[in-house]
Each structure stands twice: as structure tokens, then as C-alpha cells.
Structure 1
Amino acid sequence: MLPSRILLNNLLYDSSQLAIPTRRVDEEQVRRPTHRDIGFICRFMVFFGPISSLFDFATFVVMLWVFPSGPAQFRTGWFVELLATQTLVIFLIRTRRIPFRRSRPSLPLALTALGVVALGDALPATPVAHTLGFTLLPAGFLAAPAAMVIGYLGVECGKWLFHRTMRAPVRHRPRASPQPEG
């Protein structure tokens, strides 16, 4: 991906994440706040990193062999797919519950994330596409990354397996002890 597209991807992604402070927190997390340890976070990354990489390789295969594309079309398709997966994954990792079904995100978070994905999909068809180095993607080509994004969100099964087998030690925050008077 070209440096200008990496910067654009980062700008759009970061913009979508500005609504994170509005997110809804699951009731069990509100009742019993926990500290996450760095080991748990590392295990999470080691577990999900390869899964994410498999989707990246699948995207490459589709763009190079199913829809043989030149460099401009490949970079455009990669931008659209990468922006969508990295933006939408927030809905998977924000809760241990099933996103949207058992744990609903806040409206601002949902709107900003979905809005950025829609903007990323639309950019190749806008007047600034040429300036950004994008090329118009054929409809079939757009369907393949859309299917991969849906499949990527299906990683929910992996999340369930991860949380079932690699539980974080629950360390509750100590309650402040009452200060003695006097």
C-alpha cells in the first residue's frame, strides 16, 4: 500500500474510534471491574494475529488469482478490505458477549465505524479517487472483500474458544478503605 493510503487509512480508522468513550459497557464489567494483565493481552494477540493474517492472505489470493488485478486495483481493493476489517473488529473485541445481539454498542460508535467503512467503500468512485491513486473496483471484486469482512466478523467463534481456554486471572480493583477520622 502506498504511504498516502496508509496515512488515509490511519486517519479514517482513528476517526472512527473517536466514539469509543461513548461505548456501552456490559453489566458484568460494570459490577466487577477487573484489571487486565499484560500476559493475557499478549495471549490474545498471539491467538488472533494468525487468524487476522489468514484473512489477509485470503484477500491477496482473491485479488491476485480470482480477479487478476493490476497494482492500482490491488491497492484499492486492499485499502477497502483492510479499512473495513480493522474498523469493524472493534465490535468483536469490545465485549465477551455476542456483539449486536447480546451486547449492543453505543449509537455513536456504531455510526462512526459503519460510516468510515462506507466512506472507504465509496472513495474509489469519488472525484478524488484519481488523486488518491484509487481505481474503480468492479462489482464482483467488491463482493469478495465484503464476503471476507463478513467471514472476518465470524471470528466470534474464535473469540469464544479463546475466552473459554485462556481465561485471564480476574484481579478485582481493591475498594478504597474508609479513612479514619481525626
Structure 2
Amino acid sequence: GDLNRKGLRVLGVAQKTNPPPVDEFSVKDETDMVLIGYLAFLDPPKESTKEAIQALKDHAVDVKVMTGDTELVTIAVANQVGLPTDRVISGEKLMDKTDDELKIIVEEHDLFVKLNPTQKSRLVGILRGNGHVVGFLGDGINDSPALRASDVGISVDNAVDIAKESADIILLEKDLMILEQGILSGRKIFGNTMKYIKATTSSNFGNVFSVLLASLFLPFLPMLPIQLLFLGLIYEISSMSIPWDNMDEEYLNKPKKWEAASIRKFMVWFGPTSSIFDITTFLISFFLIAPSIAGGSYGSLDPGQKALFIAVFQSSWFIVSLWTQTLVLHTLRTPKIPFIESNASFIMTTITSLGIIVGSVAPYTKLGELLGLAPLPMSAWWMLIITVIAYLALVQIMKNIYVKRYGELL
């Protein structure tokens, strides 16, 4: 017991003077033996274990121990790595428990000792049934069922072959802090994926809604198909920088779950918001910008002037759509105030800036002429820039309301 309390595994060594034939050993033969002594084995935890467990706790990841070792050994090791030792239960007490009972037990205990392989696998399944995403780290033969039952089975390079075959991930480094890095990388990838999906669906929903409204009142298309394709190309190239974007530290501190319903809510909230300023752009372009360049209202112009009117109108919406679609990526990437409280990565900032520059210059080039775009005067730019700023300000307000109502943005 004293050796177990120090974290050592102990084997007793005994001698039998009249053993049976070699192939006939059984439990019955474990009698009338002379005790020779004890062998104590020390298997200390890795140096990074305590730091890794604390790092996981800091990022809202609970750590539970499921082992075949005795209670004394497990408590000794748990004390060394900073795990609580007041909630321990043995496999013997779990034998006759129903799944409903285990659903409560698995939440109320941190150390599970004297478990057999089937019990480990069953407890992992119970945790998953309780709504947890479970990662299981093991390196022995007895761990293979639990590795397969978990969401993410993790083993090490020097584990037994069956454990490595059962695992989804094999750690090649001995430093367990790699677990924290893996979790943070996964959350960052998930967060950046949600940025793209939510921003793109809301933007596309808003654009479709705007086109439908414009088609009811305009005597021409608000934007030509080739112009929409060019706009989409610039936007998608800008969006390709999102995987390299930063995530706010607050987002990385807690795990997230995929919820399709959140995408619908996001789209419904922010899609029509962009449509409001699409409509203001239509009004400004139709009644102010285009008439000032074409020489009058649309109905009073000859065919040549109408063509110029249409080109100027389409250029105005092209510019506004380009700026709002691209800049809203920066606004919706964080619940904070963009460019002040939270900045995008250098790669994202550079690529989105280049996209805005290329699209803004296009109406003044031969490419713009081929696309049916027309140059805009400086007075038009001021009106469009004010529209973009007002749109981003409204998005920030809507974003704050959305976060207060639903608790998170992405």
C-alpha cells in the first residue's frame, strides 16, 4: 500500500516447490507458495503532463482518467499532475450499472480505476451520448476499444500496434502541449470556416433580395451577368485569405459546435441589412449620379445617352457591392470593432485591399469598358463612400444586437 501511494505498481514474486506440468497451470496452483519479495515499477507521467492538463482546462476541456490501475496508484499519479482526487470510482462498482445510471456517474467522477477494456469503451460512449465531444488518449492493448469508440482517438508513436491502428491521430512528439496546439488549431479552422459561410450566405442573400426588388422598378438590369461574375471573382479571391486570418482569443477559449440553424439566423439578420444600402445606392445612382453624367433623367434620354446612364448606374452598384462585400468580411469576422479592437491578419488585409483596388480601378480601364462599366466622377465617389460607411456602421449596430440576443456571432 505504501508503494502504491507513491505511484508505484507492485508485483509479488513467489516460489512453488512442486509445480504441475508446464501446460497445466491454473488459478488453483496459486497456493502453498513461498513469498520471495516484491517488484516495484515506476511509470512517471511525462514532464509536460501537468502543464498540458492545465492548458486544456483553461480552454474548457475536461480531463478524466480511465485506467486499469489500482485506486492508490491512480490517485498518486493524479496528485502529481494536478487532477482532483476526491471523485474516484472503481470498475467493480460499475459492473451492474445501467446506461442511465452511468450517464450521471460519468459526469460526477474524474478518476475511473480498475476498468477493463469494455468498461472504458462503454464510458466513452456514455460521454458522447451526454453530448460531449470525446478525445481518448491511450497507448495499450486495453485502450484500443475506447480509442475506436471516441470522436478522436489519440495514441503515441511508441504505443502498441493495435492502439496505433485504432487511433485517428498519432503523436510523434513527446511533449503533450501539442494537444493544446491541436485544439486551438481546430477551433481556429472552424471559426474561419464559419466566417466564410456566414458572411457569404448573408451577402448572397442580400444581393439576390436587392436584384429582385430592383427588377420590379428598374427598366434595365441593375448589373450585367458578366459584371456579377467579375464581382464574384474578386470576392472569392478575397475570401481565399480567410483561412490565414486571426481568431479572437475569446473565441478560442471555448469549444464550438456546428449548428446549421445559426447560419440561417445570421443570413436573415445581415442579408436584408445590405439590401437597405443597395436600395439607397439604386436611388442615389438613378436620380443623382447617372443623370448628372448622362445629361438627364432616364426617360428623357436618347438610346446612346441611355446606354451611358445604364453603364454609370451599374458601375455605381458594382463599386458599392465590391466595397461592402469585402469590408463586411472585416466587420463580421469578430464581435469587436474592426480595425480598432480586432485586426485581420496581414494576408487577409493585403488580399482584400488589393481586391478593392482592382475592382475600383476597373471602370477606368479597357477591361471595365469590355465589362460595360463606366468611369465615375469624384462627386459620385463621395456619395458612394458615405453609403459604405453608413452600411458598415449599421452592420456594427446589428452585430452588437445579434450577439446580445444569441450570445455569439460566429
Interval containing the TM-score (normalised by the shorter chain): 0.7 to 0.9
Instruction: Return the structure number with greater relative CO, CA threshold 8 A, min gap 6.
Output: 1
1:10 matches 2:249: no
Number of matched pairs? 169
1:55 matches 2:277: yes
Amino acid in the other structure paired with 2:401: L
| TM alignment of 1:79-158, pairs within 5 A | 79-154=318-393, 155-158=395-398
**Contact 2:290 2:310 (8 Å CA) reproduced:** no
1:160 matches 2:400: yes
Deviations 1:95-116, CA, capped at 9 Å, x for gaps:
1111121111001101111111
Give the match's secondary structure for 1:85. helix
1:27 matches 2:249: yes
Deviation at 1:49, TM superposition (A): 1.8
Amino acid in the other structure paired with 1:47: W
Deviation at 1:130, TM superposition (A): 1.6
Query: How far apart are the structure 1 equivalents of 2:241 and 2:283?
Result: 34
Query: How far apart are the structure 1 equivalents of 2:365 and 2:289?
Result: 22
Deviation at 1:36, TM superposition (A): 4.1
| Structure 1, unpaired ranges of 5+ | 169-182
Q: Which has a greater percent of strand?
A: 2
Structure 1's consecutive aligned runs of 4 or more residues displaced over 6 angstroms after TM superposition are none
Deviations 1:61-119, CA, capped at 9 Å, x for gaps:
11011224411110111111111111111111111111121111001101111111111
Query: How far apart are the structure 1 equivalents of 2:404 and 2:253?
Result: 21
Deviation at 1:157, TM superposition (A): 1.2
| Structure 2, unpaired ranges of 5+ | 1-222, 292-308
Deviations 1:24-63, CA, capped at 9 Å, x for gaps:
0110122213124222221221111221110110100110
Query: How far apart are the structure 2 equivalents of 1:36 and 1:85?
Result: 27
Q: Which has a greater percent of helix?
A: 1
What is the aligned partner in structure 1 of residue 286 from structure 2? 64
Identity of aligned residues (%): 33
Amino acid in the other structure paired with 1:166: Y
Give the match's secondary structure for 1:143. helix
Query: How far apart are the structure 1 equivalents of 2:407 and 2:252?
Result: 19
Amino acid in the other structure paired with 1:160: N
Give the structure with higher Rg (CA). 2
What is the aligned partner in structure 1 of residue 268 from structure 2? 46
